[in-house]
Structure 1
Amino acid sequence: MIITIGGLAGTGTTTTAELLSEKLDIPFVSSGSIFRAMAEEKGMSVLEFSEFAESNDNIDKEIDKRQAELAKSSENLILEGRLSAYFVEADLKLWLMAPLDVRAQRISQRESKSVDVAKEEIKIREESEALRYLDIHNIDISNLDIYDLMINTDSFDPESITKIILTTLKVI
């Protein structure tokens, strides 16, 4: 079974992927961790690397390529990333969402920064990513038609989100 989990920063995609991976006993791969590792390799913050990636299409293409190759060579895998659903043939394509204030609060706690700083960085990063996705792949990230299931992660705790997904999988 191949599952993709997408969502904007702070929606809980990694937490959901980790829990789902444990419950289903299948591995997961995170594009965010790949992106953060690539930023660290370049000695940049995620924000700096995101801006750098605006003028370097190969960064996004490399992340997408790695995930697609992993999915093709795997029988069971969870792929977590904003664009994973566009490049992977999946049995279930999920999109997680949450209000900006909630996402900023989560990121501020995770990254030890103020909510205001987190909110501003989210806005800058999302504008940058939206432009890149449109330019590089002709993908409008705000169009959610590709997804099978969308969940507001502000409405449910991580365990409940996992239960919703597992219930959905029993129906498929």
Structure 2
Amino acid sequence: MHITITGNLGSGKSTTCKILEAKYGFEIFSTGKVIRSIADEMGISVLEMNERMSQDPQYDHMIDDKTAAISRENPDKQLLFDSRLAWNFVEKSFKVFLSVDLKEAARRVYSDASRGDVETYKSEEDAAQQLQARADNENVRYEALYGIHYFDFSNYNLILDSSFLPPERVADALIGEARACDNWNGYGVTGRLLISPKRLGIETDTEVTFEHGYVYPMPVKVKADGDRFTVIEGEEYVKKAAEEGYAYVSASL
């Protein structure tokens, strides 16, 4: 099985990937790892490779081609591609978009920045503004380079909310969905959206448990406005899901 994972900045992609590697035996191919592989083949340093990439878009396409080749050459391995755009180039993968509430993402990256990360932020509000600006810029860049809309959920098999669950639970839900897709060869089905009741404004004191499954059995309908989701139909199901300790509700737009 091959999984391609992308998502909002601050959604916990790398953390989730590390859990999938340690718990489920996946080998991770990050963009950085692919860049190092290409640099080695060319006999240049990673620093020189990064400099060339900043000046010539052909190197983006080299990374894309290398990513696709790794997948083609290892059809029977459990591979996990931690990459913004691997889903667009790997021929057959379970495509995952990790979604996160912008305020929660800002809290996470601001906390990281306080420990000396590369990005620096004056406040959580500043972090939120910078994250949104970067996301908007990346979307424009990807559309110009590849003609794709990064935030179109129909690109992905699964859109998984990572806002309020521990990363271990997010990883467990992700692998459950991936295995179900693989079992019935559902790679052509896209846009499955799993959202936390808390993300939809419903909070209870009930502890989230996976004992009875992680998705409430009744679906709901939502509308999206950026990172915000509002329930249009099925608010009673969201309340019941929260009260009964379900991690997610299944939603359609």
Query: If the length of structure 1 is used for normalisation, what is the TM-score?
Result: 0.80
What aligned pairs does 1:14-93 form with structure 2 within 5 A after superposition?
Answer: 14-31=14-31, 41=47, 53=54, 56-74=56-74, 75-93=77-95
- Counterpart in the other structure of 1:119: 128
Q: Which runs of 5+ in 1 are unaligned?
A: none
- Classify 1:140/1:13 alpha carbon distance in 2 versus 1 (closer, same or farther; 3 Å): same
* Contact 1:7 1:81 survives alignment (8 Å): no
The structure with higher relative contact order (CA 8 Å, sep 6+) is 1
The structure whose residues are more often strand, as a share, is 2
Measured in 2, the distance between the counterparts of 1:62 and 1:103 equals 31
Within the candidate set 144, 148, 157, 2:166 is matched to 157
Measured in 2, the distance between the counterparts of 1:101 and 1:59 equals 34
The structure with more radius of gyration: 2
Deviation of 1:103 after TM superposition, in Å, equals 1.2
Percent of aligned pairs with the same residue? 24
Secondary structure at the counterpart of residue 154 of structure 2: coil
Secondary structure at the counterpart of residue 139 of structure 1: coil
Measured in 2, the distance between the counterparts of 1:60 and 1:119 equals 27
The one-character-per-residue Cα deviations of 1:20-73 (angstroms, maximum 9, x if unpaired) are 1112212111226768xx9x826x9xxxx9xx85x7423432332232222122
Deviation of 1:109 after TM superposition, in Å, equals 1.9
Measured in 1, the distance between the counterparts of 2:25 and 2:103 equals 33
- Classify 1:32/1:126 alpha carbon distance in 2 versus 1 (closer, same or farther; 3 Å): farther
- Counterpart in the other structure of 2:10: 10
- Counterpart in the other structure of 2:141: 132
Secondary structure at the counterpart of residue 156 of structure 2: coil
Measured in 2, the distance between the counterparts of 1:56 and 1:124 equals 23
* Contact 2:2 2:80 survives alignment (8 Å): yes
* Contact 2:34 2:67 survives alignment (8 Å): no
Secondary structure at the counterpart of residue 155 of structure 2: coil
Secondary structure at the counterpart of residue 91 of structure 2: coil
The structure whose residues are more often helix, as a share, is 1
Deviation of 1:147 after TM superposition, in Å, equals 1.2
Within the candidate set 105, 108, 113, 2:110 is matched to 108
- Classify 1:109/1:90 alpha carbon distance in 2 versus 1 (closer, same or farther; 3 Å): farther
Output the amino acid matched with 1:153. S
Measured in 2, the distance between the counterparts of 1:145 and 1:111 equals 33
Measured in 1, the distance between the counterparts of 2:19 and 2:135 equals 25
The one-character-per-residue Cα deviations of 1:92-112 (angstroms, maximum 9, x if unpaired) are 111100111111221122233
Measured in 1, the distance between the counterparts of 2:140 and 2:6 equals 17
The CA RMSD measured in Å over matched residues stands at 2.6
Deviation of 1:116 after TM superposition, in Å, equals 3.6
Name which of structure 1's ranges 95-104 and 113-122 shifts more when overlaid on structure 2. 113-122
- The aligned length equals 161
Q: Which runs of 5+ in 2 are unaligned?
A: 40-45, 115-119, 184-253
- Classify 1:32/1:106 alpha carbon distance in 2 versus 1 (closer, same or farther; 3 Å): farther
- Counterpart in the other structure of 2:210: none
Deviation of 1:86 after TM superposition, in Å, equals 0.9
Name which of structure 1's ranges 23-32 and 139-148 shifts more when overlaid on structure 2. 23-32
Query: If the length of structure 2 is used for normalisation, what is the TM-score?
Result: 0.56
